[in-house]
Structure 1
Amino acid sequence: MNILIVYDVNTSTPEGRKRLRNVAKCCQNYGQRVQNSVFECQLEYHSYPMLKHTLEEIIDSGADTIRIYKLGKNYQQSTEQIGRVTSFDFDGSIIV
Structure 2
Amino acid sequence: MYIILVYDIYTETKQGRSRLPKIMKKCREYLHHTQKSVFEGEISEAKLLALKKDVENIINKKEDYVVIYIIENINNIYRENIGIDFDPTDNIL
Matches within 5 A, 1:1-80: 1-71=1-71, 72-75=73-76, 77-80=77-80
What code does the residue aligned with 2:74 have? Answer: K
TM-score, length basis structure 2: 0.88
- Summarize deviations over 1:23-79 as a string: whole Å, max 9, x none: 10011001111110000121122111100000011000000000000023125x421
1:83 aligns with 2:83: yes
1:74 is paired with a residue whose SS is helix
Structure 1, unaligned stretches of length 5 or more?
none
RMSD: 1.7
Q: What is the Cα deviation at residue 82 of structure 1? A: 0.7
Q: How many residues align?
A: 91
| TM-score normalised over the length of structure 1 | 0.85
Q: Unpaired segments of 5 or more residues in structure 2?
A: none
Is the partner of 1:20 in helix, strand or coil?
Answer: helix
- Compute the displacement of 1:95 (Å): 5.7
Secondary structure of 1:7's counterpart equals: strand
What is the one-letter code of the residue matched to 1:67? Answer: V
User: In structure 1, how many angstroms separate the alpha carbons of the residues matched to 2:92 and 2:84?
Assistant: 21
